């Protein structure tokens, strides 16, 4: 989920910057085609803001549509009626993120955090996104109303339909009250 949102940040930035005019000056071979500081973006869908975010720094390389961002943060409003909608607004932050727009792939690392409008909080060191599934092979900690869980890996469908914590999981689940 968090990496999905990180990717959303990246995509949003890409969309925001793709049409910008860039002057041709002397740069290193691996220099980005576009480098921005203090970026803010908003993504609109059918006249509605569905995502917004910020990044301290963003580099964009046109070849491969590759984006690299630092200190990224994004908020998303899941579409009503979807599984994600029950979580409310999703907030994701990551110190580092990169992604390829064309391949819909991305990674976020350095401590990826997720908050939801419902009161969930989760964090892990790094996540990868392949367009469908989010993965992490690092320690994952999450807690929220009625639960707390720790695992050492994550495999989650980006649409929220299934979230799997792996490699020794511990936690607590709230139980229903006695009749």
Interaction site with other proteins (CB under 8 A): 83, 86, 88, 118-119, 144-149, 151, 160-179
Least Cβ distance, residue 159 to other proteins (angstroms): 10
CA atoms within 13 A on the CB side of 116: 19
CA dihedral 145, 151, 157, 160 (to 10 degrees): 0
User: Token pair for residue 76?
Assistant: 């998303």
Q: How far is the CB of 127 from other proteins (least distance, A)?
A: 16
Q: Length of the chain, please?
A: 179
| Closest CB to other proteins among residues 70, 157 | 157
Nearer to other proteins, 102 or 177 (CB): 177
**Which one, 34 or 155, has the nearer CB to other proteins?**
155
State the number of CA atoms in the 13 A half-sphere of 125 facing the CB. Answer: 6
Q: Give the nearer residue to other proteins in terms of CB position, either 54 or 116.
A: 116
Supply the Cα-derived Rg of the chain in whole angstroms. 17
How far apart are alpha carbons 100 and 55 in whole angstroms?
Answer: 17
CB of 149 to other proteins, least distance (A): 7
Q: How far is the CB of 152 from other proteins (least distance, A)?
A: 10
């Amino acid at each position: 989920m968090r990496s999905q949102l990180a990717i959303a940040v990246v995509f949003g930035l890409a969309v925001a910057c793709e049409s910008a005019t860039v002057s041709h000056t002397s740069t290193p071979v691996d220099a980005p085609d576009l480098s921005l500081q203090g970026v803010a973006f908003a993504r609109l869908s059918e006249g509605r803001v569905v995502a917004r975010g910020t990044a301290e720094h963003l580099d964009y390389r046109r070849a491969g549509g590759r984006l690299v961002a630092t200190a990224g943060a994004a908020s998303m409003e899941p579409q009503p009626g979807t599984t994600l909608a029950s979580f409310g607004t999703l907030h994701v932050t990551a110190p580092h993120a990169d992604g390829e727009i064309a391949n819909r792939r991305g990674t976020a690392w350095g401590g990826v955090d997720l908050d939801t409008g419902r009161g969930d909080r989760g964090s892990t060191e790094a996540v990868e996104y392949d367009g469908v599934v989010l993965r992490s092979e690092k320690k994952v900690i999450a807690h929220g109303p009625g639960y707390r869980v720790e695992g050492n890996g994550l495999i989650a469908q980006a649409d929220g339909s299934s979230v799997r914590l792996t490699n020794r999981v511990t936690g607590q689940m709230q139980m229903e009250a006695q009749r």
